[in-house]
A = this chain, B = another copy of it.
Amino acid sequence: MPKRSLRAGKPASPREEEVLTKLEELARVIYSQLESGEPPFFEIPVRTLANTIWDKKRKLLVLGPKTARREFFDVGESKRFMQTILMLSLIVRARRENDYPTIRDLYYTGKHTIYYVNEHGKKVSEETWEDQRESNAVIQDIEVATGLLREHMGIMHDAKGRIVGNMIIRSKGSEIDLSRMGSGAWGIPSDVDRIEILRVKANYVLVVEKGAIFERLNEEEFWRKNNCILVTGKGQPDRSTRRMVRRLWEEFDLPVYILTDADSYGYYIYSVYRSGSISLSYESERLATPEARFLGVSTSDIERYKIPRNYIIKATERDIKRAKELMNYPWFKESKRWMEELELFIERGEKIEIEALSGHGFKFLSSIYIPGKINKGEWII
Contacts and interface: CB of A to CB of B under 8 A. Distances in A.
A215 B362 contact: no
A323 B378 CA distance: 54
Interface in A261-312: 308, 310-311
A112 B310 contact: yes
A173 to B, nearest CB: 8
Contact of A183 (B175, B185, B189, B212): B189
A182 B187 contact: no
Given A174-B182, A362-B99, A158 B111 contact: no
A209 to B, nearest CB: 11
B359 A109 contact: yes
B181 A176 contact: yes
A372 to B, nearest CB: 18
A234 interface: yes
Contacts of A187: 162, 181, 184-187
Interface in A120-170: 127, 154, 156-160, 162, 169-170
Nearest to A218: B189
A74 interface: no
A102 interface: yes
Given A127-B310, A355-B108, A359-B108, A102 B183 contact: no
A97 interface: yes
A109 B190 contact: no
A105 B184 contact: no
A186 B181 contact: yes
28 contacts: A97-B362, A97-B363, A99-B363, A101-B362, A102-B355, A106-B358, A108-B311, A113-B310, A127-B310, A156-B216, A157-B215, A158-B210, A158-B212, A158-B215, A159-B211, A162-B187, A172-B182, A173-B182, A176-B181, A176-B182, A183-B189, A183-B195, A185-B186, A185-B187, A185-B189, A187-B187, A189-B215, A189-B219
